[in-house]
Amino acid sequence: MALDLGDWTTDPDDAVREVLLAVKATDGRPEVDATGPLPREFEGGLHLLARVDSAPAGYAHLDTEGDSHGHQVAELFVHPEFRRRGVGTALAQAVVERGDAGLRVWAHGDHPGAAAIAKKLGLGRQRELLVLHVAVSGADWPEPVLHNGFRLRTFVPGQDEDALVAVNARAFDWHPEQGALTVAEVRAEERHAWFDPAGLFLAENESGEIVGFHWTKVHDPVPGRFDGDPVGEVYVVGVDPATQGSGLGKALTLAGLRYLRARGLPRVILYVEGDNAAALAVYNKLGFQRFETDVQYGA
């Protein structure tokens, strides 16, 4: 077996998509399409393609700008046909050698093989991102109750981007990725086929200021994941810190869940930080349970 890692590049070629689509067909992730731009997490930065006997075998992406905490972030994927042949180890080693001292590397699904590679490279668990899920049938999601003059409406493209980004920044100033959301990125999401303004709920105060939001998402069926059914997602729930304790977050969450249920979706998922005890308590009361764990490793 001849393994060739090639060179880091700023311009990924079509073979990168070939690897990502093969991984998606087996693992259900990442959310890459056969055409169009690569997902936002693979934009910019550096790209490294591994080949085995000239065939695309793996891919690593290094976000050199880093997250809002200043950590460069890497993701790597191995084509299902070339797993357990050292491709993942070679890519991980290349990422560690190229990244800076604060590098973080994602392992999706908390696979034992990823843990073994991380240990070999001297990387420890730095962060856990939990994937929770709930079956819609039988879920007790009452109509949301609003207090303090708050009211809900849906997003208006071309009007609400700035206000959404502003409240998002206040809500997630602690978060390494979400807090850095820009207006340009919101507009880019609006161009995706899954985007539906009817599923993006905004909360206004009595002055008409946006003080919270719940952005939902609907995923097309993926073979081998979630029984091959379409699935709804609590994509982002954010509230202005000044409104905390008012019940606004719960009301927004319920509004989005009821919308997803009305769409006829059998299951809803969400991502939440493993150390966010307050959010986990809320989601557990709504019936969510752990489905998967994504781990971020670092020195």
Of the pLDDT bands very low, low, confident and very high (cuts 50, 70, 90), residue 196 is very high
pTM, 2 dp: 0.85
pLDDT at 97 over 80: yes
Asked whether residue 70 is marked as a ligand-binding residue, the answer is: no
Asked whether residue 78 is marked as a ligand-binding residue, the answer is: yes
Asked whether residue 237 is marked as a ligand-binding residue, the answer is: yes
Asked whether residue 183 is marked as a ligand-binding residue, the answer is: no
Rounded CA-CA distance 291/271 in Å is 10
Asked whether residue 234 is marked as a ligand-binding residue, the answer is: no
Asked whether residue 217 is marked as a ligand-binding residue, the answer is: yes
Asked whether residue 120 is marked as a ligand-binding residue, the answer is: no
Asked whether residue 77 is marked as a ligand-binding residue, the answer is: yes
Asked whether residue 246 is marked as a ligand-binding residue, the answer is: yes
For the stretch 57-86, pLDDT in tens is 999 999 999 887 889 999 999 999 999 999
For the ranges 156-160, 207-211, 221-225, 253-257, which has the lowest average pLDDT?
221-225
Asked whether residue 151 is marked as a ligand-binding residue, the answer is: no
Asked whether residue 125 is marked as a ligand-binding residue, the answer is: no
Asked whether residue 29 is marked as a ligand-binding residue, the answer is: no
Asked whether residue 177 is marked as a ligand-binding residue, the answer is: yes
Asked whether residue 199 is marked as a ligand-binding residue, the answer is: no
Of the pLDDT bands very low, low, confident and very high (cuts 50, 70, 90), residue 207 is very high
Residue 243 CA, distance from chain mean position: 25
pLDDT at 223 over 80: no
Asked whether residue 59 is marked as a ligand-binding residue, the answer is: no
Asked whether residue 208 is marked as a ligand-binding residue, the answer is: no
Domains in the chain: ranges and CATH: 3-122 (3.40.630.30), 133-292 (3.40.630.30)
Alpha-carbon distances of 189 from 17, 163, 183, 217, rounded to whole Å = 19, 16, 10, 11
Residue 172, number of CB atoms within 10 A of its CB: 17
For the stretch 14-40, pLDDT in tens is 999 999 999 998 888 898 888 888 888
State the average pLDDT over residues 151-156: 98
Asked whether residue 87 is marked as a ligand-binding residue, the answer is: yes
What pLDDT shows up at residue 152?
A: 98
Average pLDDT of the chain, as a whole number: 93
What pLDDT shows up at residue 68?
A: 79
For the stretch 163-188, pLDDT in tens is 999 999 999 988 878 878 999 999 99
Asked whether residue 261 is marked as a ligand-binding residue, the answer is: no
pLDDT at 214 over 80: yes
Asked whether residue 19 is marked as a ligand-binding residue, the answer is: no
What pLDDT shows up at residue 297?
A: 97
